[in-house]
Amino acid sequence: MYGAAAFSNTMPNMGWVIIPLWLLLQGVPDWLIGITIGCRHIGPMLLAIHGGAVIDRLGARRIMIFLATVGAVAPLLYPVTPFIWAIIVLQLITGLVDSLGWVGAQTLVSRVMKGDATYTSRMSFCTRLGLLIGPALSGVALDHLGPWGGFGLIGIWSAGILVSVLILPPDIDRQAAEKTEDQNSRLSTRVFLPCPSDYIAAFKLLVLPTICFVMAMSLLRHLGGGIQASFYGVHLKDIGISATTIGLLISANGAFGLVGSLSAAPLQRLFRTHILLLFLVTGSIFFVAITPLLSDQVTWLVLASGARGWAMAASLVFLISMIARYTEENMQGKAMGLRVTLNQMTWFAVPIVMGFVAETFGRELSFYVIGVAAIALVTVLGLWAGFRKVFD
């Protein structure tokens, strides 16, 4: 389970290095780079809840086997795709596969480990280990082996998900959730068709103030990720930093995230979880929004990326633990699907908004606009939780 989580969570970060830089080399303008990257998140935004419901019914293991197989093949089509519209189609496919694989991994961890912060911290530690290695290798592969090396590495990474999931016992889902009869469901066309009742059930979770707070924090946490996924690498490449160095900077997320993952459980014993979450989400946005201020000073860029990685890793532990704690067992897949749906709305919107802001006012200003707006929203959410006494 730790391996499946590590490989699946690393896939998008490797794309942060390879895809924007590859599009830049193709001469694609900023506004179209933003749209192309944003389109990667349309499928998960619309189908993550449905995917979580299918995982609830059929079990995470067999769904993830299929997703990992597709994920290993699809990246190899990028270097031979001649048209931008075809690249956008590939973005739609790979984005959906990556996100649903991560939904499956989170669902397994949530079910088997029951939201225990200690085990969730270890899972987060493993995902950060993947984030330390994957993006760094991506930059090296793109610099020295070209597009085939970069996209081929993403395919190999998806094969790692497949190997990890195949090692799991075939009945792992039934062991984790014996009360859920749907784990014995047979494969049929009806199972894979989106069902409105699944979406209604998932969005009904937002009626609970605790779940509403957690999901909103998850969404805002990824505003910083939307910046890093789109114009972070493009900006750094434009000021003369190599793809290898950009990959190492993103890998600093993983290096510092190792500490963040293991520090989450001790921090939870000292402070209230939702207060920690507010602090960590604010930090994760701030340390990427200040990128243009740091210019080409690699040491400061590493420290900022590392601080963001620490905040992201620790906050992930709290998010998964709180969802597991406040959600019924047979709703875990839908809850994780809802989280991914809201996250993907952010991933979809931020690159497009940044693309047009960058095209109009310049890339540097786009970092500040998104950063200030995001931190303001976190502040408003914290005040709402305090006045409503959500966690009292």
Decide if pLDDT at 180 tops 50.
no
Q: What is the pLDDT of residue 290?
A: 92
This prediction has a pTM of 0.69
In a domain, 41, yes or no: yes
Range of the domain at 331: 2-169+199-388
Count CB atoms within 10 A of the CB of residue 280: 25
Long-range CB pairs of 249-252, under 8 A, 24+ apart, other chains included:
249/298, 249/301, 249/302, 249/305, 250/13, 250/16, 250/17, 250/131, 250/135, 250/136, 250/139, 250/305, 251/131, 251/132, 251/133, 251/134, 251/135, 251/136, 252/302, 252/305, 252/306, 252/309
Q: Is residue 190 part of a domain?
A: no
Per-residue pLDDT, averaged over 15-29, amounts to 82
* Whether the predicted pLDDT of 348 surpasses 80: no
- Please tell me the total count of domains within the chain: 1
Q: What is the CATH number of the domain that holds 74?
A: 1.20.1250.20
Asked whether residue 147 is assigned to any structural domain, the reply reads yes
Residue 97, C-beta contacts closer than 8 angstroms, at least 6 positions apart: 67, 70, 71, 74, 158
Q: Does a structural domain hold residue 188?
A: no
Residue 188 scores a pLDDT above 80 = no
CA gap 188, 7 in Å, rounded: 28
Per-residue confidence (pLDDT) for residue 285, from 0 to 100: 92
Residue 347, pLDDT > 80, answer no
Is the pLDDT at 357 greater than 60, yes or no?
Answer: yes
Q: What are the tens digits of pLDDT across the range 219-232?
A: 888 888 778 777 78
Tell me: pLDDT of 389 over 60. yes
Count the alpha carbons within 13 Å of 280 in the hemisphere toward its beta carbon.
Answer: 31
Residue 200: pLDDT band (50, 70, 90) is confident
Task: Determine the length of the chain.
Answer: 392
pLDDT-based confidence at 176, cuts 50/70/90? Answer: low
- Would the pLDDT of 261 be above 80? no
Residue 377 is predicted with a pLDDT of 94
- Give the Cα separation of 221 and 24 in Å (integer): 27
Contact partners, residue 275, CB within 8 Å, separation at least 6: none
Q: Does a structural domain hold residue 174?
A: no
How big is the chain by its Cα radius of gyration, in Å? 20
Mean pLDDT of 34-41: 81
Residue 334 counted as domain residue? yes
Instruction: Name, of 4-13, 34-43, 47-56, 154-163, the range with top average pLDDT.
Output: 154-163
What pLDDT is attached to residue 183?
Answer: 46
Rounded to an integer, what distance in angstroms lies between the CA atom of residue 363 and that of residue 117? 39
193 phi and psi, to 5 degrees? -85, 130
Between residues 229 and 122, the one the model is more confident about = 122
Inside any domain, residue 22: yes
Report yes or no on 6 lying in a domain. yes
Q: Which residues lie closer than 8 Å to 130 by C-beta, 6 or more apart?
A: 6, 7, 9, 10, 254
